[in-house]
Amino acid sequence: MKAIKNLEDLFYHELQVLWSAEAMLVEAMPAMIERAQNTGLKKNLALHLAETDQHKVALEMICRELGIDPQGDFNPGIKGILEEGQKVMAKDATPEGMDAALIAGAQKVEHYEISGYGSAAHYAEMLGYDAIAKRLRLTLEEEQQADTKLNFLAKNIVNRRAKAVAPVTPAV
Ligand code: ZN
Ligand code: FE
């Protein structure tokens, strides 16, 4: 692993762990889409999978421009969030309960990405990579929009439906 001496090194590190995150997400999202029952949620996740693929390609282009290997680092943070999600997805659940759980898991990912892209875009601006900063800001906006849409779906539809599922009455 390369030493982080300055902001430039940290910028490269951040790009590599973001690429690692997007690559893992592209692999993990189809199972979430499959598991989702609510049509709005399914569509939303499918749309964001397409965006995620573009985010990954954008990072590859940025790394090429900077002369660094996008695959130069690994992201244990996103791996952990995904493992948590996989544990939840393996549970026995009602469709309503699982939809609510899927949104909560997806929002954890979005918040992680919002934080990472926020840092990376700021580093790019400070280091004078204006075009790269713009591309990173565009991805950041898409992550924020994905989070906002998930939040809307959760609050207005999915969580309400999960709340309305009747509890199993204990046998007396
Ligand atoms: Zn993304
Ligand atoms: Fe995302």
Q: Tell me the pLDDT tens digit for each residue of 28-61.
A: 999 999 999 999 999 999 999 999 999 999 999 9
- Read off φ and ψ for residue 165, nearest 5 degrees: -65, 125
Distance of CA 63 to the CA centre of its chain: 20
- Ligand 2 geometric centre to CA of 112 (Å): 9
- Ligand 1 geometric centre to CA of 36 (Å): 19
Mean pLDDT of 104-126: 98
Measured from the alpha carbon of residue 54, the closest ligand is: 1
pTM for this prediction: 0.95
- Ligand 1 geometric centre to CA of 144 (Å): 10
pLDDT digits (tens, 9 = 90+) for 65-90: 999 999 999 999 999 999 999 999 99
- Three state DSSP letters for 102-169: HHHHHHHHHHHHHHHHHHHHHHHHHCCCHHHHHHHHHHHHHHHHHHHHHHHHHHHHHHHHHHHCCCCC
Measured from the alpha carbon of residue 117, the closest ligand is: 1
Measured from the alpha carbon of residue 107, the closest ligand is: 2
How many angstroms separate the CA atoms of 52 and 26, rounded? Answer: 7
- Ligand 2 geometric centre to CA of 148 (Å): 11
**Average pLDDT value over all residues in the chain:** 97
- Residues lining ion ligand 2 (Cβ < 5 A) are 113, 143
Measured from the alpha carbon of residue 22, the closest ligand is: 1
Is the pLDDT confidence value at 171 over 80?
A: no
- Model confidence band, residue 2 (pLDDT cutoffs 50, 70, 90): confident
- Ligand 1 geometric centre to CA of 131 (Å): 18
